[in-house]
Structure 1
Amino acid sequence: MVETPDEQRERERREDAARLLRAHLLMQDGVASHAQLTAGGVMKTDIERSVRRKELRRVHPRVYVDHAGPMTWRQRAWAAVLYAEPAYLCWTSVEEPRRRDDGAPIHVAVDHSRRIRPQDGIVIHRMKGLELRAYGGTPPRLTAEDNALAMAHEAAKDIDAIARLADAAGKSYVTADSLRAALDRYPSVRRRALLAGLIDDLGAGTHSVLEHGYLTKVERAHGLPAGTRQAPRSGPAGNQFRDVEYAAYGLVVELDGAVGHESWRDQARDADRALDDLASAGVLTARLRFHQVFDTPCHTATRIARILRRNGWNGTMKACGEACRMKEA
């Protein structure tokens, strides 16, 4: 049967639409949006036909995948980004899971001025200046630096904000300069002074944020005696400096602010156990990390006080506030 000109044009249009559909699906792990398809000439009727034939399946409103089975993490990520577009992967969704997909919701960032209807499996974060923080990627996502600051901004506690920055700093491609540049793009971030100090410490190899935290959150806040800062001593390797020394009571406190070490939370637990041993055995050097200073300052003060008392201190501890968790040493 010979095609009429109109039938020929319609067949060619459908073939072009099918090629465009396949191209979009190929580039995006089998996921495409209604807007992407129709912009290239695919008609609503073509999409509906593909859905009826089970060549496409609706995942979210106006977002489709090319099969009826379980979706991979990348497909779920693409679907979330396309549903909320323009949007970018953020938070725990910036990187693909190393292990099997556990089905956790996909986090995406959109401009703060937009309102997106919630969907199962998607968590929407509204952010200011979003276009400054995104990079290409497939699917598109925030930079590691900006994502870390966004998570730090919403962290409930200082130690959680520190953890976000530490996790980012542990990546080989993240530097103090790149973190500082991200901080400049994020003028309204909470705990800005704390985060700026951590970044400066990372670049300079110092522990000033941790040292200041010990002074204000542990020592002064709980009425411990004043230690001597950066007390010099001579050793086999030459002149060295103790972070905090209580010379009259035979105790040295060394502060390890190793931001960026992948196992820093494990190290924190090890330091907790070591501090308990100090409190019972009276060893002369206590090594503290961010966890002991920012997360459990009251317990840390109690343990330090026990060591000081054993070595002659007869002062009185004080509560740092109504919610203080110290125990009388």
Structure 2
Amino acid sequence: MQDGVLTHAQLVAAGLTRADLARMQRRNELRRVHPRVYVDHTGPLNWHQRAWAAVLYAAPAYLYGPSAEPPRTEQLARPGFVPGPIHVAIDQSRRVKTQPGIVIHRITNLESHAYGGTPPRLRLEDNALAMAHEARSDIDTVASLANVVGRSYVTPDSLRAALHRFPSLRRRAWIATIIDDLESGTHSVLEHGYLTKVERAHGLPQSDRQVPRISPSGSQFRDVEYEAYGLVVELDGALGHDTWRDQARDADRALDDLAATGAVTARLRWHQVYDSPCRTALSLVRILRSRGWAGRPVACSDSCPIGAEP
């Protein structure tokens, strides 16, 4: 079950003496991986053996972050692929000395977030929120959720239950709103981000939002519309991987708008709004100007590219 990785305590419990262990190491039947952790061969360790060695060394510990799931088979088979260190979580109250190839994370009330597994790991939802807590930016927080949303057993309710297990989570209220959006199918967090980070921060003309429209596919709403300039902005707040059906639906809506009103549609996702709002605003400024807008945009900072726009 442990892929040939054993602890000193397990070997002793099996009846081996110190002399037995020394003899087995001389015969290359055992090799020390970390203090008091061994493997039953002398060749390179595969990913699962490295994961077991890390978890057993820091026990009680659980795989965490990028190590909570093993690399995909195609990744491991890729020439030149170098697996990263193994990340494990221990309880906040403990201290464990770091070893080469192991990154230690400390989490409050660890056992409440843990899932058994082989090797043991955090629950997917709890792992996503733990990574969100450590995220340096909003877009990294969104990415941690996107990595688990769409799994058949990850739901808004299971994410909300995990959220309750993190009472001190950084950006907690904001993450709760994203989970609410996932459940309702709305994009309020992304819409607010567009309004504050792209439109208002860069002096774009005031848009109309949630504009009703009638199309061949039925009654719908445009997320953002600049009616005077024939520009529609659709905000795609979906997390997880888009399917070809989603892409086909989006293409149909853009085509309907173009046929009915001559409006062009810019489809923005989390990255454009939260990770590169200045670049997004610059592109929209150029579209708006090509369609008759004579206003002057505003640079939101000294480094904003709009400041160099004539």
Q: TM-score, normalised by structure 2?
A: 0.86
Fraction of identical pairs, as percent: 67
Quick one: distance in 1 between partners of 2:291 and 2:305? 23
Where in structure 1 do 4 or more consecutive aligned residues deviate above 4 Å?
none
Alignment-derived partner of residue 126 in structure 2: 146
Matching residue within 267, 275, 289 for 1:309: 289
Matching residue within 223, 235, 239 for 1:259: 239
- 1:188-207 alignment runs, 5 A limit: 188-207=168-187
Alignment-derived partner of residue 226 in structure 2: 246
Distance 1:104 1:325, change over 3 A: same
Alignment-derived partner of residue 41 in structure 2: 67
SS at match of 2:295: coil
Decide whether the 8 Å contact of 1:170 with 1:262 is kept in 2: no
Matching residue within 38, 49, 53 for 2:23: 49
Which amino acid letter does the alignment assign opposite residue 321 of structure 1? S
1:123-179 deviation line (CA, Å, top 9, x unaligned):
111111211111110111111111111112222221121111011103222111111
**Is 1:91 aligned to residue 91 of structure 2?**
no
Quick one: distance in 2 between partners of 1:71 and 1:242? 53
Quick one: distance in 2 between partners of 1:193 and 1:225? 30
Decide whether the 8 Å contact of 2:230 with 2:263 is kept in 1: no
**Is 1:284 aligned to residue 281 of structure 2?**
no
- 1:1-329 alignment runs, 5 A limit: 27-39=1-13, 41-99=15-73, 100=76, 102-261=82-241, 284-326=264-306, 327-328=308-309
Quick one: distance in 2 between partners of 1:117 and 1:237? 60
What displacement does 1:41 show? 4.4
Decide whether the 8 Å contact of 1:224 with 1:305 is kept in 2: yes
1:266-292 deviation line (CA, Å, top 9, x unaligned):
x9xxx9xx9xxxxxxx96211111111
Decide whether the 8 Å contact of 2:63 with 2:119 is kept in 1: yes
Quick one: distance in 2 between partners of 1:134 and 1:257? 29
Distance 1:244 1:322, change over 3 A: same
**Of the two, which has the highest radius of gyration?**
1
Quick one: distance in 2 between partners of 1:248 and 1:98? 49
> Structure 1 unaligned runs (5+)?
1-26, 275-281
What displacement does 1:310 show? 2.2
1:66-115 deviation line (CA, Å, top 9, x unaligned):
11111121111111101111111111111122222734211111112222
> Structure 2 unaligned runs (5+)?
255-261
SS at match of 1:97: coil
What displacement does 1:232 show? 1.4
Alignment-derived partner of residue 21 in structure 1: none
SS at match of 2:104: strand
Quick one: distance in 2 between partners of 1:124 and 1:258? 32
Decide whether the 8 Å contact of 2:282 with 2:305 is kept in 1: no
State the number of aligned residues: 290
1:4-63 deviation line (CA, Å, top 9, x unaligned):
xxxxxxxxxxxxxxxxxxxxxxx3111111123334544333322322332211111000
